[in-house]
Amino acid sequence: MNILLAIDDSEFSEAMTQALIAQTQPKGTEVRVLHVLEQLPIAYAGGEWGYSVDWQKVIQEQQKRAEILVSRAADVLRKAGFTVKTDIEEGSTKSIIVDSAAKWPADLILVGSHGRKGLDRFLLGSVSEAVARHAPCSVQIVRTATG
């Protein structure tokens, strides 16, 4: 079985990892731990705002945090006996998850739900909802007790 574990830097990532370990036998299962770096918005640097941003440094820091994040999840899964690969991609989180699952191909996608409602959900969108609608395979949405 191929499982795509789409993680971010939130409490949901740990919950998803633990849910995967609790629900799935490691034998014959390959897990791909995926973290998507959202593309940075184009921002005005200098001029009226009076400051500039070193975007290269920001990107390098995001990449470093992402590497630590996927490495930690992979280590936990490997210790539980799973075969694990890691990926870090840049782009639209919703699209990258769905596209990665289709290309691999994944049998199951695990995503977390932040439990946003109302205006937050409208403005920020729901990655888990979009993935569930467009995924080429089954999707499990994991919530925490507070989510």
Q: Write down the pTM of the prediction.
A: 0.84
Largest CA distance in the chain: 59
In terms of Cα–Cα distance, which of 85, 113, 120, 115 is closest to 3? 85
Per-residue pLDDT at 75: 97
| Rounded mean pLDDT for each run of 10 residues along the chain, 147 residues in total | 93 87 95 89 51 76 94 96 96 94 97 59 65 94 69
Torsions phi, psi of 133, nearest 5? -75, -35
Angle between helices 55-79 and 11-23 (to 10 degrees): 20
pLDDT at residue 128, as a whole number: 86
The residue count of the chain comes to 147
**Residue 48 phi, psi (nearest 5):** -60, -35
Domains and CATH numbers, the chain: 2-142 (3.40.50.620)
pLDDT of 120:
43
Strand partners, 142: 112
Each residue's pLDDT tens digit, 51-72 = 566 778 888 898 999 999 999 9
Beta bridge partners of 147: none
